[in-house]
Amino acid sequence: MSTKAERTTAFIIETVAPVFNKHGYVGTSMSDLTEATGLTKGALYGNFENKEALALSAFQFNSNLLLHKIDTILAQETTAMGKLDALTTFYRNYDVFTLNMGGCPILNIGVDAQHNNKLLSAAVRETIKTVEGKIALVLEDGVNNGEIRLPVTPLQFAKQLYTMIQGAVAMSTMSRDRKYLINTVAYLEQLVQREIKK
């Protein structure tokens, strides 16, 4: 059973996570956070050392939601091809999944924190590596099971695949046009079927 303090901390993180994700670290003011939570500045700082600690916790909250969703999707399939198909299906609707988060946390926070928050920037890079690692593991299992063939190492292919997805997320976000995401995912599905499926 969680304590009142733990529940308050969890409430703050969950409430401010989309605020930081939408407005960025610099663009989010303490008044934005007090307005979102209904708590005073003192109450926020009673639970977090500073704004940086709160922003990091908020990003980790969103990152964990994303990683948990990917794990759940991958766990539902038994073959590498099934997992790749489930992953591309998820990313086709990624903008819908991240809507309540304030958009893609990797894109939003990654760009925002690049030059003004080393801890946040490092956390984003770690999440990127984790996602790429999950994709690489699927590919490696597929190679080992004789389902797929790769022209490069699983990690290299995973990085390229994820780069294309995140590029499509960026273009969809900036242009407000879902076709970038939908068309890129459709291309990736064809690529997987044509180029790596045995």
Q: What is the mean pLDDT of residues 85-102?
A: 96
- Taking the C-alpha atoms of residue 28 and residue 20, their distance in angstroms, rounded to an integer, is 6
In this predicted model, what pLDDT tens digit does every residue of 107-153 receive, in sequence order?
999 999 999 999 999 999 999 999 999 999 999 999 999 999 999 99
| pTM for the whole structure | 0.94
The answer to whether residue 52 is domain-embedded is no
The answer to whether residue 5 is domain-embedded is no
- How many domains does the chain divide into? 1
CATH number at residue 72: 1.10.357.10
Q: What is the mean pLDDT of residues 61-69?
A: 97
The answer to whether residue 97 is domain-embedded is yes
